[in-house]
Structure 1
Amino acid sequence: MAKRSKRYRALLEKVDKNKLYGLREAVALAKELATAKFDESLEMHVRLGVDPRHADQQVRSTVVLPHGTGITKRVVVIASGEKIKEAQEADADFVGGDDIVQKIEGGWLDFEAVIATPDMMKSVGRLGRILGPRGMMPSAKTGTVTFDLATAVKEIKAGKVEFRVDKFGIVHNAFGKASFDEEKLYENAKALFGAILKAKPAAAKGQYVKSLAIAPTMGVGVKVDAAAAQKEIAE
């Protein structure tokens, strides 16, 4: 069994493993636990009562966090004709058509988000094996396949994040930096959790949220009272 560092053991002492914390309390404690030598992200981990093996139980959507993520994303837009100019005016970081597709096929990945117009998806489809595993493949469901490039670029720059359930039925997503003030982190956490609740598939039966935890990138997880948090979101 791997030995825990002195820092990690000290963090463990601050968390009551037998307690389910309130969402606000958990966010505040997770912020306190972010003691690494860099600005850690705070992450939400939600175990859902869905079977991702079934297409009708997939959980995937987006949410614009009210205070952003603390990370400025470099956005690539793949378009044609007049839409190239529109993307440039919307302050996309990289804009092009088939030339961008070929560049990515050649190994270029100096960006964090990709938007494409519907007419370019025939070419962009070739990038599935590259962008898919990185969670950057454009999709109409997440608003990244669209002709409304100005809105799409603006939302991503403002803090729009995509979340999706993994093969174990868990959603993992960062919702801000530990350097954010507590209130902003709490509001971001509420927005993310609310979006996950809203994304519940119609085919999901029984208890939807099995467990909820908040943790800094390099720290200890804090268990949250999921039932109380759901009521909090509904208020």
Structure 2
Amino acid sequence: MKRGKNYQDKFKLVDRSRLYDLDEAVETVKKTATAKFDETIEAHIKLGVDSRHADQQVRGAIVLPHGTGKTVRVLVFAKGDKATEATNAGADFVGAEEMVDKITKENWFDFDVVVATPDMMGVVGRLGRVLGPKGLMPNPKSGTVTFDVAKAVADIKAGKVEYRLDKTNIIHVPVGKGSFETDKLHENLSVLLEAVKKAKPASSKGTYFRSITITSTMGPGIKINPAKV
């Protein structure tokens, strides 16, 4: 596929044959984020595990110290006092059965994250076929199935991100925006890598971090030396 001049100019900034140190990689990715909009900076981490095995799953959630730079819309399934807590904490949408109808009948998806109290999972379970493929199904491991809805909403609004393996054993996570200062991007990325490192399954053998790449929305990938992480 033929790339435009802007992409080619960005490509020249990156030496594809080398592995960058973390500091230099972050500085370089900022130079490639030159689009007219504020590009998202993403990390792509390939791990030496096999996601087909239950004991080699890598999944969790962390609050990035400087957030993602994105405004996240939160839907909470809760009733009574917990619904009030969620609203007071800043949830964008709060409800119960009526939200199931809105999603299924109106094809409504104006939200980015779903939180539910454990007693509401029977209701939310009806949405498994539509929320699951979109990666929106609440999960206890990511802290989105909880009675502490106020903390869940606050964490998500503050920059909480979920990380999990895809079918090719790669984790894809946004770590900020091109407008972020270099040190803030560096800290966000370092916190993510440390969390993934701590989540290493006991059954994982050999090299854990196979490759680490960061990229801006419209830019080329920049490979980080995994041996120095």
Give the TM-score of the pair, scaled to structure 2: 0.97
| Displacement of 1:222 | 0.8
Provide the rounded CA distance (Å) in 2 between the counterparts of 1:60 and 1:205: 18
Match of 1:206 in 2: 206
SS of residue paired to 2:14 = coil
Match of 2:87 in 1: 88
Provide the rounded CA distance (Å) in 2 between the counterparts of 1:32 and 1:143: 35
Provide the rounded CA distance (Å) in 2 between the counterparts of 1:68 and 1:181: 12
Task: Give the alignment of 1:25-104 within 5 angstroms.
Answer: 25-104=24-103
SS of residue paired to 1:109 = coil
Q: Structure 2 unaligned runs (5+)? A: none
Q: Higher mean Cα deviation, 6-15 or 138-147?
A: 6-15
Provide the rounded CA distance (Å) in 2 between the counterparts of 1:208 and 1:127: 35
Provide the rounded CA distance (Å) in 1 between the counterparts of 2:51 and 2:178: 31
Provide the rounded CA distance (Å) in 2 between the counterparts of 1:91 and 1:219: 34
SS of residue paired to 2:132 = helix
- Per-residue CA shift, 1:158-208, capped at 9, x if unaligned? 000001111001111110000111111111111111111111112211111
Identity between Structure 1 and Structure 2 (%): 57
Match of 2:20 in 1: 21
> Is 1:129 aligned to residue 132 of structure 2?
no
Which letter does structure 1 place at the counterpart of 2:28?
A: L
State the Cα RMSD in Å.
Answer: 1.0
Following TM superposition, the consecutive aligned residue runs of length 4 or more in structure 1 with deviations greater than 4 angstroms are none
| Displacement of 1:214 | 1.0
Q: Structure 1 unaligned runs (5+)? A: 230-235
Match of 2:216 in 1: 216
| Displacement of 1:6 | 1.4
Match of 2:163 in 1: 163
> Is 1:7 aligned to residue 6 of structure 2?
yes
Provide the rounded CA distance (Å) in 1 between the counterparts of 2:155 and 2:180: 20
Which letter does structure 2 place at the counterpart of 1:81?
A: G
- Per-residue CA shift, 1:58-116, capped at 9, x if unaligned? 11110100000001111111012221111111111111111112212221110111100
Which letter does structure 1 place at the counterpart of 2:49?
A: V
Which letter does structure 1 place at the counterpart of 2:180?
A: F
> Is 1:116 aligned to residue 116 of structure 2?
yes
Provide the rounded CA distance (Å) in 2 between the counterparts of 1:101 and 1:203: 39
SS of residue paired to 1:134 = coil
Match of 1:149 in 2: 149
Which letter does structure 2 place at the counterpart of 1:157?
A: K
Alignment size in residue pairs: 228
Match of 2:187 in 1: 187
Q: Higher mean Cα deviation, 186-195 or 196-205?
A: 196-205
Provide the rounded CA distance (Å) in 1 between the counterparts of 2:186 and 2:21: 11
Match of 1:232 in 2: none
Q: Higher mean Cα deviation, 195-204 or 172-181?
A: 195-204
